[in-house]
Amino acid sequence: MDREAFLKPAQEYRMKTIIHGWPDECGILADAVRDFGYGGTATNPPTENGYTGNKENLAKFGRILEELNSRDMDYWIYDELGYPSGHGGGQSLEDHPELEAKGFYMHRRMAWEPKNAVFDLDDESDRIIWAAKYPCDCSRMNTSIVLYDQMERVAFTDTHCECSMKENEALFIFCVKSAYEGSHLTHNVSSKNRYINILDEKAVRRFLDVCYEPIVKEVPEAYKNARAVFTDEPSLQTPYIQGDEVWPYALAPWVDGLFEAFEEEYGYSLLPYLPMIFEGRSSSYTVRVHFYQLIGKLIAKNYVKQISDWCVEHGTCFSGHYLAEESLRAHVLYYGSYLEVLRASGYPGVDVLASYPDIYHQNTTRFAQMAARKNNTNGIMVELCPFINMEHFSEHPVRYAAGILSLLYLGGCRCVNSYFSSDFSSYSSEILQGYQGFMSRGQSIWLNEYTGRLGSMLDQAFHECGTFVYYALEEVQAKTRPSHCAQEASDSEADRSIFEITRSLFDRGYDYLFADRDDIVAAAGSISENQAWISGCRVENIILPAMDIIYPETWEALVRLREAGVSIWFADKLPKYRVGEKAVFAYYDFREESVLDAFTADGRYFAAIPAEQIVQKIEKQEKEFNVQADASNSFLTAKFQKDGRKIYFVVNKTEEKQEAAWQCSGKEKAEIWNPADGSIMEVEAGKSVTIDACRGLFFVF
């Protein structure tokens, strides 16, 4: 471990400031960025007068990059005029309306006696894509069971469907329309442009043609010299985003060829079961899991991998961040399978909007960290954008930014592109008058050095953790149905449970990682001498959130891990359904719906207990390293290994400095590496060390 490199961190570890517009004297701003301690910038061509369609903009962009290159400054290329990435400032859909984002919805008719049904497409929709009718079993009170294996196709045109219906028959008509109203497109601070279909390979190719290719044509070395490309919140537009609005159409993601792709992927036709995407309870779970997993694979292939391959071909890496990373509900609604999408990227990333530690979401980086661990990408990129509760943030902006950065690096961040800006106008009041921000030059230099030391210390460090929380994506996929209004994470039982588990761990200072089905199965396969491993970490605890459905191979692997001595904890209930198994329709009376899927505590292999009890049991487990503060629950600790040494990163989450007394099994002394000033000192076990508010220290053995 290099002490000099820690004291004077290289620019690659410092923050990159995000600049979307440059003055004509762009070299002056580049000088200011370097003088204020930054490692470089994330930037884009001028956005006015046609964006990348204007050669003058591209020529100026070339001059900007020349100024950065001449100063040996790193840069990222931001790939859009605003966000979400894909609309190309309106160019992507110009003369190509067929590439717009689409969704499909269901229209349901029921015949309680014979009748003739007529349906005509409305003026909001594009066309009818499927129609079928089914007999229904209505023999029991309060039930109308669709008999999916007796589907009868109904003739239709693009705009009209008409058929005769027998008693107790259901007719389902499915229609496609643009996904726009009420979406992320109409509720952002950038634009209200219509948007491409990220499921469509041709639409994404069009985005490349209008936003990437013009740059490389006019500035051939632009991408080759770039650290990475920054894509910003590309996403499906079928979910509604504003909780106060209700819309006429409940949309599922659509792209031409979707039905054929489903059958190719899973070996059965989706058509008989298409209503299950929109309705049904446990009997519909497997179809929905398959559907949303396929959506994730299509986005990963057609958006992320296509652009990533282009970037590699042109000498750089594809990165950026996606939308609403903090919840599984959003992972399904916006991507089908967020992890599938993120793993297709060259370097995963997130954004963080929390402006101070008290409101930091503990899972902001943790889901993306899972992709980084699987892909071995040496951490993730974070867009730092302190946006929430700016009034409080403004009281101590540098302190709070340092606190957020400490938590981010502990949770997997290794690179920062920042909207937390500096007052560059002080460098040149005449030329940079409009470039004002939160930090003075001195504050900016300090925060960049602090961030640089975090990055230098943790670069290529192995994150060692034995507690894993299960990434219960199949549970949320199974229960995701298109809605007429916004769907919140708080509506998802799995999300509520995961939040409770991880917040309890976070508040008590315990580290954790997420693990998915593949990790659990691999861990079971790694068992040797009653030890199991995930990505080089010995597995000690696996915590599963409240869920009703799980992959059978995950369950079987958990049984084997339990037999090998791994502690397996289920929070609140045991899953009683398995993905792939046909669930029989569960009869119930609507008055008893509140007790459906009630608490299931005991099973053959496992017992479920409240999440709080799980964390209490983990608290009682023996720890190799302990650090105590004046105030309880002040610190968060994570363990790393690097160059044959153990590193414990301890972050003070509070707004008060704390005196920390430490103990480490078999160790009498520790080196304390302080990222605030680059100092290194030796401290004996049991002696107190001061950790300032919202900062961290490295305990090195």
Which tops the pLDDT comparison, 332 or 602?
Answer: 332
Average pLDDT across the chain, whole number: 95
What's the token pair of residue 216?
């490389």
Q: What residue type is assigned to position 83 of the chain?
A: Y
With residue 555 as reference, give the H or E element that holds it. helix 552-563
DSSP assignment letter at 583: P
Question: What is the predicted pLDDT for the residue at 631?
Answer: 81
Share of the chain above pLDDT 90, in %: 93
SS (H, E, C) 671-695: EEECCCCCCEEEEECCCEEEECCCC
Does residue 570 surpass a pLDDT of 80?
Answer: yes
Q: Compute the residue count for the chain.
A: 701
Region of 379 please: left (phi>0), alpha (psi -120 to 50) or beta.
Answer: left
Q: What is the mean pLDDT of residues 338-366?
A: 95
Q: Using alpha carbons, list the distances in angstroms from residue 667 to 120, 641, 680.
A: 77, 16, 17
Domain ranges for the chain: 8-95+183-244+296-458, 102-178, 467-619, 625-700
Considering the four listed CATH numbers 3.40.50, 1.10.150, 2.60.40, 3.40.720, the one that applies to the domain covering 467-619 is 3.40.50
Share of the chain above pLDDT 70, in %: 97
Could you list the beta-strand ranges (E) of 179-278: 228-232, 252-254
For residues 550 and 547, give the distance between their C-alpha atoms in angstroms, rounded to a whole number. 8
Question: What is the predicted pLDDT for the residue at 317?
Answer: 98
Instruction: Kindly indicate the confidence band of residue 603, based on its pLDDT and cuts at 50, 70 and 90.
Output: confident
Q: Is the distance from CB of 326 to CB of 361 less than 8 angstroms?
A: yes
Question: What is the predicted pLDDT for the residue at 400?
Answer: 96
Q: What is the mean pLDDT of residues 84-105?
A: 98
SS (H, E, C) 176-192: EEECCCCCHHHCCCCCC
| CATH T-level fold of 102-178 | Immunoglobulin-like (2.60.40)
Instruction: Kindly indicate the confidence band of residue 387, based on its pLDDT and cuts at 50, 70 and 90.
Output: confident
Q: Using alpha carbons, list the distances in angstroms from residue 207 to 34, 95, 196, 268, 336.
A: 32, 13, 8, 33, 21
With residue 216 as reference, give the H or E element that holds it. helix 213-218
What's the token pair of residue 647?
């590193």
Q: DSSP of 641-663, one letter per residue?
A: EETTEEEEEEEE-SSS-EEEEEE
Alpha-carbon torsion angle 679, 685, 687, 691, nearest 10: 50
Question: What is the predicted pLDDT for the residue at 602?
Answer: 64
Does residue 587 surpass a pLDDT of 80?
Answer: no
DSSP assignment letter at 528: B
pLDDT tens-digit map of 129-148: 999 999 999 998 888 999 99
The distance between the two most distant Cα atoms of the chain, rounded to a whole number of Å, is 87
pLDDT tens-digit map of 238-264: 999 998 999 999 999 999 999 999 999
pLDDT tens-digit map of 668-688: 999 999 999 999 999 999 899
pLDDT tens-digit map of 171-182: 999 999 999 999
pLDDT tens-digit map of 427-436: 999 999 999 9
- Supply the Cα-derived Rg of the chain in whole angstroms: 27
Q: DSSP of 93-144, one letter per residue?
A: TTT-GGGB-EEEEEEEEEESS-EEEEEE--TTEEEEEEEEEEEEE--STT--
Judge whether 102-178 and 625-700 match in fold: yes
Residue with tokens 């009748």: 115
Q: What residue type is assigned to position 79 of the chain?
A: D
Residue 396 exposure: Cα atoms within 13 Å on the Cβ side:
11
pLDDT tens-digit map of 151-195: 999 999 999 999 999 999 999 999 999 999 999 999 999 999 999
pLDDT tens-digit map of 392-447: 999 999 999 999 999 999 999 999 999 999 999 999 999 999 999 999 999 999 99
pLDDT tens-digit map of 11-55: 999 999 999 999 999 999 999 999 999 999 999 999 999 999 999
| CATH T-level fold of 8-95+183-244+296-458 | TIM Barrel (3.20.20)
Q: Which CATH superfamily is domain 625-700 in?
A: Golgi alpha-mannosidase II (2.60.40.1180)
Instruction: Kindly indicate the confidence band of residue 633, based on its pLDDT and cuts at 50, 70 and 90.
Output: confident
- Name 143's Cβ contacts closer than 8 Å, sequence gap at least 6: 137, 585, 587
For residues 339 and 197, give the distance between their C-alpha atoms in angstroms, rounded to a whole number. 19
- Name 335's Cβ contacts closer than 8 Å, sequence gap at least 6: 235, 236, 295, 296, 299, 322, 341
Could you list the beta-strand ranges (E) of 168-266: 169-178, 228-232, 252-254
Question: What is the predicted pLDDT for the residue at 197?
Answer: 98
3-class DSSP assignment, residue 538 = strand
Question: What is the predicted pLDDT for the residue at 558?
Answer: 98
Strands 462-464 and 40-43: unpaired
For residues 432 and 32, give the distance between their C-alpha atoms in angstroms, rounded to a whole number. 9
